[in-house]
Amino acid sequence: MSRSIATVKPGLQTCVQELPGREGFLEQGFPLSGPFDAWSFRQANLLVGNDRDAAALECQFVGPTLTFEADMLIAVTGGDMSPELDGEPVPMFTTLAVKAGQTLALSFARKGARSYVAVSGGIATEPVMGSRAVFHQAGVGGRALVRGQSLPVGDSTASELFTIPEAARPEIALDRCWVIEALAGPNDDWLSDKTVDAFFSSDWTLQAKSSRTGLRLTGPEFQFSEKALNKSPDHGQDPSNIVDHGYPMGAVNLAGQTPIILVNDSPSTGGFINPFTVASAAFWKLAQAKPDEVLRFRRIDRAGAAALRAEIDTKTRREVLERA
C-alpha cells in the first residue's frame, strides 16, 4: 500500500513547507519561503519522529480535510483549528497513530491563524531548486493543495507517541495583543528620533491585506529626518524612497506611510527604507496574528534577539518531548 495522503478539502492555501527553505536563489528573485511559524512546525515534526525540518503542511485560517492511505503517525500544532479524526476531537501538540482510511478534518482557526500537520516520514514531494517549500504565488515547488490531490509520504519506522508539555508550546490566545521583538535599523536614521520612539510605544493594527509576502500595518504617521528630506535625487522623490538595496527578512519596509513587515515570501531588494527589523524568533507571533489584532513592538538589540532564538531552540528539541 502506498504511503500517501488524499486531499478531501484543501482548506485555504494549505501548502507544503520545509526548513530552511529555498536557500541560494534570492538574487534570482526566489524567496526563502518555508514555514511562517517555525516553532510549531518543528514541534509537529518531532512528535512524529521526523527530522525537525522535514516537509510538512502549513494551514492558514481554514484547515484541510485529509484522508490517510496508510498507517502512520501524525501531529497537529500551532493555531487551534479544532482537529477531528473521523469526527472525534483529538488533542493538539500530541502524536496520533492513524490507520489507513482515517480522515483528519481541520476547521476555522479558533486561536491563532496557522496550524501545522506533520506525518511520520515527511511529505515527499519532489524538491525544486533544492527545497520542497512552496512559493504559492509563483508556483515554485508547487502550489496550494487542491481537492483530490495526492501527497506522497516518505518511509518511517516511528511508533512512539509523545506530547509537548504546555510550558514548551507557543502561547497562542484569543484576540490578543501581540508583543513583537524588533531591532532598530538598518535605516532608522531616515526617521525622526520622535518617530523611532513612537514606533516602539504605539499600537499597530494588522490589516486584512496581509499575506506570507508582507504584513501591512495601520498606525501613527511617520516623520522623517533631514537625511530623508534633503537627499540626493537618485534616492527618489518620496522621503521613504532610497536607492535600491537589500531587504533583510523581517524588515519593516516603509512604503510612503504604510509599514509592511517583509516575511517568508517577500522580495529581497527594492527602493524603500527599512527602519526596523523584526527578530527571527518573533516570526511565530506574526504567523499567528489575525487581521485587526494589535501588534506592539518591543525594542531589543542583537544580543537580545540571539537569546530569544536560543530560548525557542531549546523548546524545539527531542529532549522536550514527554511520552503520551
- The β-bridge relationship of strands 294-299 and 177-184 is parallel
- pLDDT tens digit string along 118-132? 999 999 999 999 999
- Average pLDDT in the 216-239 region? 94
**Which of 98-107, 234-243, 295-304 is predicted with the least confidence, judged by mean pLDDT?**
234-243
- pLDDT at residue number 1: 54
Write out the DSSP string of 257-305: TEEEEE-TT--SEEEEEEEEEE-GGGHHHHHH--TT-EEEEEE--HHHH
Respond yes or no on whether the N-terminal peptide bond of residue 20 is cis (omega within 30° of 0).
yes
For the chain, list the domains and their CATH numbers: 4-168 (no CATH), 177-314 (2.40.100.10)
- First-to-last C-alpha distance (Å) of the chain: 28
Place of cell 507571533: 285
What average pLDDT is seen over the chain? 96
Average pLDDT over residues 198-227: 96
> Can you give the pLDDT at residue 43?
98
Measured from the Cβ of residue 230, the count of other Cβ atoms closer than 10 Å reads 9
Q: Tell me the HSE value of 169 on the side-chain side, using a 13 A CA sphere.
A: 20
Average pLDDT of the segment spanning 29-41: 95
Number of other CB atoms surrounding residue 89 within 10 Å: 9
- Structure confidence by residue, pLDDT tens digits, 16-27: 999 999 999 988
Cell reading at 39? 516553532
Q: Is the pLDDT of residue 12 over 90?
A: yes
Per-residue confidence (pLDDT) for residue 29, from 0 to 100: 85
Helix, strand, or coil here: 227?
helix
Answer whether 0.75 is exceeded by the pTM.
yes
Q: Answer yes or no: are the C-beta atoms of 83 and 112 closer than 8 Å.
A: no
307: Cβ contacts below 8 Å, ≥ 6 apart: none
Q: What is the dihedral of CA 168, 174, 176, 180, to 10 degrees?
A: 40
pLDDT band at 192; cut points 50, 70, 90 = very high
User: By the 8 A CB rule, do 155 and 3 touch?
Assistant: yes
pLDDT band, very low/low/confident/very high, at 138 (cuts 50, 70, 90): confident
Say yes or no to pLDDT of 137 above 90. no
Residues 47-58 have a mean pLDDT of 98
Query: In terms of Cα–Cα distance, which of 86, 88, 76, 18 is closest to 47?
Result: 76
Which pLDDT does position 210 carry in this prediction?
95
Q: Does the pLDDT of residue 256 top 60, yes or no? A: yes
With beta carbons less than 8 A apart as the criterion, state whether 96 and 162 touch: no
The share of the chain scoring above pLDDT 70, in percent, equals 100
DSSP secondary structure code for residue 77 in this structure: E
Instruction: Convert the pLDDT of each residue in 165-184 to its tens digit.
Output: 999 999 998 777 999 999 99
